[in-house]
Amino acid sequence: MNRPYIICHMVTSIDGKVTGKFLESEAGLKAAEQYYKIHREFGADGFICGRFTMESSFTGGWYPDLTAFQGQKMEREDYIATYDTEFYAVAFDTHGKLGWKDAVIHDEDPGYDNAHIVEVLSEDVEDAYLAYLRSIGVSYVFAGEKEIDVELALYKLWHNCIGTKFLLEGGSILNGAFAGADVIDELSLVQAPVLGEKGDKPLFYDEVAGDYQLMKAEVIDRSVWLRYHSNHNNHTAI
């Protein structure tokens, strides 16, 4: 199936955790600085995150009042808004719970600012929510009846000309789903020189089998940037 090239780009602890207090430490903050710098330099067409990551990073838990949109019947057809952009923020938001206020991300980091939002949804999302997304110009695609099919979602992104290379940036549940679907072509891990704690989330929520070849190991300001290529699929970057 045709799909974009996927690079899983994350900050991790030495023991492979991606959430936790280690990110607030001096070493974790320095690793994050390098992570954002690499994010900007990759030259991808956009980034992909799950609902919780998008909520914590961008929407802050806000949700719109959908009263004015109740009663509208919406077809389950992909909607790609006309928007002058070359960069996308793709949100895997199965049941339509993210509260966007605009069609683009607003962020101090130029690596995220002005990215046009594309929601990946299941077909059981509320009609009023779809009507609201259209009213503010947010694009959306459907990738399953009640749950999201990762491979179908990526095909939809490719088919609708959203992009050919994306950075997968968590959280661990979404990373695990991508790994389970065998659609991660590269791992880009900025490893902070610190251990995580019990309860911190791992890179992949579910244990998955995989075979990767180390492409690069570079020390950057006490952190190590590890870059791996998948040995279990032949997808290549465009």
Domain stops at, among 138, 163, 188: 163
Conformational region of residue 185, where left means phi above 0, alpha means psi within -120 to 50, and beta covers everything else: alpha
User: Same structural domain for residues 110 and 190?
Assistant: no
pTM of the model: 0.94
pLDDT of 111 reads 95
Distance CA 165, CA 141 (A): 17
If asked whether residues 181 and 234 sit together in one domain, one would say yes
Q: Are residues 155 and 54 in the same domain?
A: yes
Domain boundary among 143, 163, 183: 163
Instruction: Domain count for the chain, please give it.
Output: 2
Residue 104 shares a structural domain with residue 157: yes
Shared-domain flag, residues 33 and 50 = no
Residue 161's pLDDT is what? Answer: 83
157 plus 78 within the same structural domain: yes
Which of these, 231, 228, 204, lies nearest to 217 by C-alpha position?
228
pLDDT of amino acid 207: 67
Structure confidence at residue 211 as a pLDDT band (50, 70, 90): confident
How many other β-carbons are positioned within 10 Å of the β-carbon of residue 226? Answer: 17
Residues 101 and 55 in one domain: yes
| pLDDT at position 179 over 50 | yes
- Give the domain CATH number at 40: 3.40.430.10
Together in a domain, 70 and 134 = yes
pLDDT in tens, 19-77: 999 999 999 999 999 999 999 999 999 999 999 999 999 999 999 999 999 999 999 99
Is 20 in the same domain as 108? no
- Please indicate, yes or no, whether residues 129 and 209 belong to a single structural domain of this protein: no
96-123 tens-digit pLDDT? 999 999 999 999 999 999 999 999 999 9
How many other CB atoms are found less than 10 A from the CB of residue 209? 8
Which residue type does 42 have? F
Q: Domain ends where: 107, 135, 163?
A: 163
Q: Which domain holds residue 30?
A: 1-44+171-238
Residues 6+ apart with CB under 8 A from 177: 148, 150
User: Do 151 and 102 reside in the same domain of the chain?
Assistant: yes
- Can you give the pLDDT at residue 238? 46
80 and 64 in a common domain: yes
* pLDDT at residue number 86: 84
The answer to whether the CB of 22 falls within 8 A of the CB of 194 is yes
